[in-house]
């Protein structure tokens, strides 16, 4: 779970790749750097993330069977909400309990 700002969006095949500036990592099981690519397995802009917008994102690390692909994946059932101070507070409170 992290707060990020969408810098760019690009459609690659049947997927969408977002370039994201990681602003605040709340809870993570793998290291995040300041700029990451976030992959969405569709091209319909679901969830709708707009360039320049800030979001709270809950994504997963995806490693393929051959271990040749390691990326951050936001699945259809993933969490992507516009960032607000209220959302920030809720995520911080939940991180203390989880």
Owning domain of residue 71: 2-96
3-state helix, strand, coil in the chain (%, to 5): 15, 45, 40
Check residue 68 and give its pLDDT. 67
Closest Cα to residue 39, out of 14, 22, 56, 21? 14
For the chain, what is the domain count?
1
Q: Domain holding 46: CATH number?
A: 2.40.50.120
State the 10-residue block means of pLDDT for the chain, 98 residues long. Answer: 92 93 82 90 83 91 74 84 84 72
> pTM here?
0.82
């Amino acid at each position: 779970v992290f707060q990020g700002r969408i810098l760019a969006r690009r459609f690659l095949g049947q997927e969408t790749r977002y370039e994201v500036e990681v602003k605040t990592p709340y809870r993570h099981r793998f290291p995040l750097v300041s700029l990451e690519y976030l992959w969405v397995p569709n091209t319909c802009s679901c969830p709708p993330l707009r360039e320049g917008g800030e979001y709270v994102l809950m994504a997963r690390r995806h490693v393929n069977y051959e271990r040749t692909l390691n990326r951050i994946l936001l699945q259809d059932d993933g969490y992507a909400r516009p960032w607000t101070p209220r959302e920030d507070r809720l995520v911080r409170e939940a991180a203390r309990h989880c």
